[in-house]
């Protein structure tokens, strides 16, 4: 079967590393992004240089009309999607809950929970035999924060990833009989630009002493887990999670 993957937030960080690894595994690749077109096109060039057929598509995953447009582009330019990496995510500045605005909480929940659910919905419409599909694989990028709660930093973000984990479990059971596997990864502190969103770009380096392995992780180390879960090598894994958090 041809392999066609959509990687949300594929323009930077963990998503970009996943796109590069997917290129080496023979996938046709859709790199989704929200705003940073230059970053998306840099990854697109790198992926094409590895010989992969690929496109970059701007869409906010938390708006269903834009998700529909994203999937139509993939239908027309790459073919029926067989794999989805729900990777796009956001976080607000380090805050206590009593300091959080409704806008910030809603943005976090819409991007990190509604977005993956909408993308999974439109993937299922192409993967499920009920809709003429031949199965597929979905990986949701959660966070160690789902287990740890992130008190004093961003409990809203941790709660969004907890919701994503519950979605992963429920959906995996809902579609297990349709040849569709749904799994998650929970990264710990990974060196990406994500931490600038929380107000401290050097956050990972500062927190390294508290990590059992005494170092932050690399995006490529997370991508390895994602690509394994997507692949047939993980053919009996569904509703499961790989913690990639250096022992946290």
| Residues annotated as part of the active site | 157
Should residue 12 be labelled a site residue for ligand NAP when binding is judged by CB under 6 A?
Answer: yes
Which CB, 90 or 137, lies closer to ligand NAP?
A: 90
Of residues 143 through 182, those in contact with ligand NAP by CB under 6 A are 143
The contact pattern for ligand NAP, residues 120-139, with x = CB under 6 A and - = no contact, is --------------------
Should residue 13 be labelled a site residue for ligand NAP when binding is judged by CB under 6 A?
Answer: yes
Alpha-carbon distance of 93 to 108, in angstroms, equals 11
Should residue 14 be labelled a site residue for ligand NAP when binding is judged by CB under 6 A?
Answer: yes
With helix as H, strand as E and coil as C, how does 50-71 read? Answer: CCCCEEEEECCCCCHHHHHHHH
Should residue 32 be labelled a site residue for ligand NAP when binding is judged by CB under 6 A?
Answer: yes
Selected from 5, 15, 118, 172, the binder of ligand NAP by CB under 6 A is 15
Alpha-carbon distance of 196 to 203, in angstroms, equals 8
Residues with Cβ within 8 Å of 171's Cβ and at least 6 positions away in sequence, in order, are: 120, 138, 182
Q: Choose among 91, 103, 111: nearest CA to 197.
A: 91
Checking DSSP bridges between strand 180-187 and strand 28-33, what pairing results, if any? unpaired
Which CB, 115 or 136, lies closer to ligand NAP?
A: 115
Alpha-carbon distance of 96 to 152, in angstroms, equals 5
The contact pattern for ligand NAP, residues 72-111, with x = CB under 6 A and - = no contact, is ---------------xxxx--------------------x
Selected from 18, 62, 82, 238, the binder of ligand NAP by CB under 6 A is 62
> Which residues are near ligand NAP by CB under 6 A?
8-9, 11-15, 32-36, 39, 60-62, 87-90, 111, 115, 141, 143, 187, 189-190, 192-194
């Amino acid at each position: 079967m041809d392999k066609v993957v959509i990687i949300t937030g594929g323009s930077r960080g963990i998503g970009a590393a996943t796109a590069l690894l997917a290129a080496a595994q023979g996938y046709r690749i859709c790199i989704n992004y929200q705003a940073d077109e230059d970053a998306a096109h840099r990854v697109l060039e790198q992926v094409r240089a590895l010989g992969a057929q690929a496109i970059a598509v701007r869409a906010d995953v938390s708006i269903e009309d834009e998700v529909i447009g994203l999937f139509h582009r993939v239908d027309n330019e790459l073919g029926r999607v067989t794999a989805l990496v729900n990777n796009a995510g956001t976080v607000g500045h380090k805050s206590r809950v009593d300091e959080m605005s409704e806008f910030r909480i809603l943005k976090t929940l819409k991007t990190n929970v509604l977005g993956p659910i909408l993308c999974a919905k439109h993937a299922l419409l192409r993967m499920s035999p009920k809709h003429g599909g031949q199965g597929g694989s979905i990986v949701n990028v959660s966070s160690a924060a789902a287990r740890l709660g992130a008190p004093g930093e961003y409990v809203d973000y941790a709660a969004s990833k907890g919701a994503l984990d519950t979605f992963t479990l429920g959906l995996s059971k809902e579609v297990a009989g349709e040849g569709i596997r749904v799994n998650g990864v929970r990264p710990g502190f990974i060196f990406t630009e994500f931490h600038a969103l929380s107000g401290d770009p050097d956050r990972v380096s500062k927190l390294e002493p508290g990590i059992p392995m005494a170092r932050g992780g690399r995006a490529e180390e997370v991508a390895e887990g994602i690509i394994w879960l997507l692949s047939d090598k993980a053919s009996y894994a569904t509703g499961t999670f790989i913690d990639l958090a250096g022992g946290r």
